[in-house]
A and B are shown apart, each in its own frame.
Chain A
Amino acid sequence: MSIGPNTLALLGKELQTEFRSRELLTTTGVFILMVLVLFSFTFDPTSSESRRFGPGLLWLAFLFASSLMLQPCFLREQTNDTLSSLRLAVSDPFSIFLAKLGANTLFLLFTELVMLPIFSVLYSVHVLPQIHYLLLVLFLGSLGISITGTALSAISAQARMRELLLPVLLLPLLTPILVASTEVTVGLLAPEPFMEWKGIGVLAIFDLVFLTAVWLFGEYLLEE
């Protein structure tokens, strides 16, 4: 069976198990909501302050929440050693990674889209006029977070101190994503919105480079 159908079958399994348990979506959603609400209390944001600080805060919340979401990604496969049965069943182990990556990106995007209107209300910024560009930056940012996070989740799942290892490795690596996504979002939420294409370029290149690296070395990530 080729990589495409294998990836789709595994992606279906990931979605099915998550929508049955709703563990990751609930945890991540509640975490982002708490960060947004707490920060909206700590400083009473005016519209101009929100435009300056809001995007950075939003992406920081997404970043920290993603480390929560990505942690169990491969840990779940260790409970019954299901990673071994997947490795025996698929012809290309990259399909296991692709399915996890697809699922993580979808979960993250879904949570971000639910949180965006709440952010808009709490911080008095209008997101609707630039929603098409916002969706682009959310997609590229989430993809980058998921590629790096899924790979590191595979590595950290087999290590000691695994709960600490993922955020420690993940957050520094995601600095370019945080900076580029924040810059693009600041531009989009400005009084006279503009698109920071350079930031989009950085995000696209980051995603491409990391995806290629994982494609080349992904087999070793899944080995014991």
Chain B
Amino acid sequence: MTSPEFSPTGISFEKIDKRFGGLFALRRVSLAIQPGQCVALAGRNGSGKTTLLRIAARLVRPSAGQVSFLDKSGSESQARPVVGYVAHATMVYDELTAEENLVLFGKLEGLKDPRARASVLLEEVGLGDRRTSLVRTFSRGMRQRMAIARALLNEPSVLFFDEPATGLDPQGVNWFADRLRHLRDTGRTILMSLHGESEISALATRAIRLDAGSVIADTSAGATLRSILTFGEAR
């Protein structure tokens, strides 16, 4: 279902600081994420994962430093890339139906046939038979599926997932892992925050650990990658 037409996009974070009042959420974070990398962000609650994702998606302005999107050659991309973002909140309207939500966002993103795209996505996330139901009648897992469908609407080249498995049942996690594998294998750049090891974290090609707003570990090696993801989780 995913069209191959997208521009591979990387992300560069240069000396990012983010302060909320006197509190540093991020401190001098510098990272370069290559086009097509699937990066897992690990860290305890409050370590700065969500803030980093929101800064990357340009939803929050950093207090200092710069975020830029990079093209395949590694130079700064002039065009605004298509970004998909799944946050803690579902980012869809409770008072609209599943289909109305996706059609609205499809129109805003300039899709040629938002209704057809919405229909395909709703079938894929397993909500085809609930397309005319108001989102407020959905369970937490169904809302999460809606959030994922909304993020995938416009064939994004960059995807940010903030704990994407939240609320999903085991079948949902399997489905999402398959979908994520497909996105990774078709060259999408993925940055996702996760807790511990899972079917989803196994798909990461790189892991970064944050602690108190700073990067304390960053690796692409298999065994180290797993240890970074699980470090301190039992504490």
B95 touches A87 (CB 8 A): no
Q: Which of A10, A80, A84, A87 has the most CB of B within 10 A?
A: A80
B156 CB to nearest A CB, Å:
9
Chain A residues within an 8 Å CB radius of B80: 91
A17 proximity list for chain B (CB < 8 A): 93, 95-96
Please name all residues of chain B whose beta carbon is closer than 8 Å to the beta carbon of A20 when the two chains form the complex.
Answer: 95
A82 contacts across to B, CB distance below 8 A: 91-93
Cα distance, A174 to B91, chains bound together (Å): 33
* Binary A-proximity of B79-120 (CB < 8 A = 1, otherwise 0): 010010101111111111000100011011110000000000
Count of chain A residues with a beta carbon within 8 Å of a chain B beta carbon: 24
Most buried by B among A80, A88, A91: A88
Q: Tell me the smallest distance from the CB of B131 to a CB of chain A, in Å.
A: 16
Interface window among B3-11, B56-64, B200-208: B56-64
> Measured between C-beta atoms, what is the minimum distance from B159 to chain A in Å?
12
Helix, strand, loop or mixed for chain A's interface?
helix
Q: Nearest-CB distance from B93 to chain A (Å)?
A: 6
In the complex with contacts A1-B109, A6-B108, A9-B104, A81-B93 CB distance below 8 A: no
Say if the beta carbon of A13 comes within 8 Å of chain B: yes
Q: Residue B108 contacts which of A9, A16, A21 (CB distance < 8 angstroms)?
A: A9
Q: Which of A18-32 contact B (CB under 8 A)?
A: 20-21
Which B residues, 39 to 64, have Cβ-Cβ distances below 8 Å to chain A?
A: 54, 57, 59-61
How many B residues have CB within 8 A of the partner chain?
26
Contacts of B83 in A (CB 8 A): 88
Once A84-B59, A85-B150 are accepted as A-B contacts, the answer to whether A13 and B110 lie under 8 Å apart by CB is no
Q: Counting CB contacts under 8 A, is A79 at the interface? A: yes
Chain B residue numbers with a CB within 8 Å of A1 are: 107-110
A173 to B87, CA, bound (A): 36
A91 to B110, CA, bound (A): 9
What residue in chain A is nearest B110 (Cβ atoms)? A1
Among residues 63 to 92 in chain A, which have CB atoms less than 8 Å away from a CB atom of chain B? Answer: 79-82, 84-91
- Closest A residue to B146 by beta carbon equals A80
Q: Does A224 make an interface contact (CB < 8 A)?
A: yes
Looking at the complex, which one of B54, B85, B92, B110 makes contact with A80 (CB distance below 8 Å)?
B92
- With most chain A CB atoms within 10 A of its CB, the pick from B59, B87, B92, B150 is B59
- Residue of B with least CB distance to A220: B61
Given known A1-B107, A9-B108, A13-B104, contact A85–B61 (CB-CB < 8 A): no
Q: Return the chain B residue nearest A79 by Cβ.
A: B94
Known A-B contacts A1-B107, A9-B104, A224-B59; the reply to A85 vs B91 at CB < 8 A is yes
- List 9 extra interface pairs beyond A82-B92, A84-B89, CB under 8 A: A1-B109, A6-B107, A79-B89, A81-B87, A81-B88, A84-B59, A84-B87, A85-B91, A91-B110
